[in-house]
Structure formats: C-alpha cells, structure tokens
C-alpha cells in the first residue's frame, strides 16, 4: 500500500476505510495504448465521493512500463 492508503487504513475507523477501499477499487484506469485496466486502489491511489468519469490522467502503465494517458472509468457494479 502507498502512504496515503496506509494513512486511510490506520487512521480511520475500519468501516470507513473499508468503504474507501471498496470505492477506490470500483474505479479503474484504462491505458489508452494497451487497454490494460487496473483499479485506482491497485495503482496506489484512493478515490472516494468524487466522481469525474472520463477524466484523463497520466500514470505509469504496469503493462507498457511507460507513462500513458489513461481514462478514469467506473467499473460496472460488481456482484460481491
């Protein structure tokens, strides 16, 4: 986990950190070059109560190994 994620998990009550983790995992960043999608949480970020679908960010793609422009997408409701 990244520093911000550790802070969230260690400072907040478990039910809040669980909600933030679930929210972050429901957002994915999709690489514009190879199409690989990873959740915001897996990328080391957090996202909570701040929707901005279609926003583009530049992050390092684990698949390409290079910085790529990625689009932020909301995962379809996952049947947990």
Long-range contacts of 63-72 (CB under 8 A, 24+ apart): 63/31, 63/34, 63/36, 64/31, 64/33, 64/34, 64/36, 68/31, 68/32, 68/33, 68/34, 69/32, 70/29, 70/30, 70/31, 70/32, 71/29, 71/30, 71/32, 72/27, 72/28, 72/29, 72/40
> Does residue number 43 form part of the binding site for Zn ion (CB under 5 A)?
no
> Does residue number 58 form part of the binding site for Zn ion (CB under 5 A)?
no
**The only residue of 34, 42, 52, 75 in contact with Zn ion, by rule CB under 5 A:** 34
> Does residue number 63 form part of the binding site for Zn ion (CB under 5 A)?
yes
Query: CB-wise, 5 or 30, nearer to Zn ion?
Result: 30
Note the residues at the interface with Zn ion (CB under 5 A). 31, 33-34, 36, 61, 63-64
């Amino acid at each position: 986990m990244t520093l911000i994620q550790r802070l969230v998990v260690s400072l907040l009550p478990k039910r809040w950190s669980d909600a933030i983790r679930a929210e972050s995992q429901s957002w994915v960043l999709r690489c514009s070059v190879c199409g690989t999608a990873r959740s915001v949480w897996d990328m080391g970020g957090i996202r909570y109560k701040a929707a901005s679908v279609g926003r583009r960010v530049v992050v390092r793609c684990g698949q390409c190994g290079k910085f790529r422009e990625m689009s932020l997408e909301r995962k379809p409701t996952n049947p947990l």
